[in-house]
Amino acid sequence: MAEIGKDLEVAKEALEKGGLVAIPTETVYGLAANAFDEESVLKIFEVKDRPSFDPLIVHVSSLAFAAKIVEEIPESAEKLAKAFWPGPLTLVLKKNESIPLSVTSGMDTVGVRVPNHPISLALIKSLDFPLAAPSANPFGYTSPTQAFHVNNQLGSKVNYILDGGNCKVGIESTIVSCVDNKVVVLRLGGLTVEEIENALGRPVDDIQTSSDKPTAPGMLSAHYNPGKKIIIGNIDHNLKKFPRARVGVLSFKRTFKNLNITKQFALSPKGDMQEAAKNLFGSLRKLDTRAVEFILTEEVPNDGLGRAINDRLLRASQKK
């Protein structure tokens, strides 16, 4: 198991020596390494068992630092960065030669963002390199939203886990590509499409998050899975189909009579979508540890953050 703590000096030293440090962000915990150093970056892929075709997001401390690692910041990207950074928005931009191709899976674009977490922002500001950091989980698994989630799965493989408590947003960043004069949403996430369009003052050009026509190597249909089979649909109906002893339930708001309370979680009993997003991955992980064979779940109302939650539930329910 790794050491878990809040010591920025320990984290800084490990990163400067080319090591891996798990960092808290407002979205999920990241597995961070020096983005300028190819050897350090390759360790991320190894530890996560992540295919080399799945690019990493680079975390910087400011828009000014982002400008140092890309060819240019188009007007649309500048507008979005000024509106939402630090925050759950990743911008895909044309990279310059400072970023090794191993970070971007050989592409000429890089995903970059300023995370909104005081501890990680202080860490990144103290370093003279940005941090490449995908979610700190084995590839294809549910993202971690607490330090112990990271420790349970990757504890023996990282140098240090910076503890920043429970992630406030709980779902990954929204990814928006701003290359070739187009604004295209590549992944739904913690920032809604409505918020993005409001800041732009116009609709986005496209939303290409469907796994049927992947536009980003990382847009895999099967992802975020906690381990057990997940069945999405009408929970009342599915409870009749399966013997109760064998199912766990993840509902949006409701609790179910005659079902052991340790085997059911409501994402937000009051129907608050932000609370639902925050609880999503942690609840899936808890249900995965219960003595159940399947997890029955349902879609949440499909607007705002609900679209990102439904996206994760759908991918988590796909067979790997």
Distance CA 242, CA 286 (A): 20
Residue pair 60/113 in contact by the 8 Å Cβ criterion? yes
Among 104, 109, 135, 151, binds Mg ion (CB under 5 A): 135
Question: Does the protein bind ligand AMP through residue 172 (CB under 6 A)?
Answer: yes
Q: In angstroms, give the least distance from the CB of 143 to Mg ion.
A: 5
Which of 142, 195, 140, 144 has the alpha carbon at shortest distance from 307? 195
Q: Hey, what's the torsion of the CAs at 166, 285, 313, 84, to 10 degrees?
A: 10
Q: Do you know the residue count of the chain?
A: 320
Q: Does 120 bind Mg ion (CB under 5 A)?
A: no
Q: DSSP label at 97?
A: T
> Of 155 and 217, which has the nearer Cβ to ligand AMP?
217
| Shortest Cβ 126–ligand AMP spacing (Å) | 22
The one segment of 113-121, 129-137, 151-159, 249-257 that binds Mg ion by CB under 5 A: 129-137
Binding mask 184-213 for ligand AMP (x = CB under 6 A): --xx--------------------------
Is 259 an interacting residue with respect to ligand AMP (CB under 6 A)? no
Q: CA-CA distances (angstroms) from residue 287 to 15, 156, 208, 246? A: 34, 24, 31, 12
State yes or no: residue 57 binds ligand AMP (CB under 6 A).
yes
Site for ligand AMP in 36-55 (CB under 6 A): 54-55
Question: Candidates 116-124, 215-223, 270-278, 289-297 — which segment interacts with ligand AMP by CB under 6 A?
Answer: 215-223
92 binding ligand AMP? (CB under 6 A): yes
Q: Estimate to the nearest angstrom the gap between the alpha carbon of 220 and the chain centroid.
A: 13
CA 111/CA 162 separation, integer angstroms: 23
Pick the closest to residue 176 from 109, 121, 118 (CA basis).
Answer: 109
For the bound state, the minimum distance from the C-beta of residue 16 to ligand AMP, rounded and expressed in Å, comes to 22
Count of residues of this chain found to bind ligand AMP when the rule CB under 6 A is applied: 18
Contact set with Mg ion (CB under 5 A) = 135
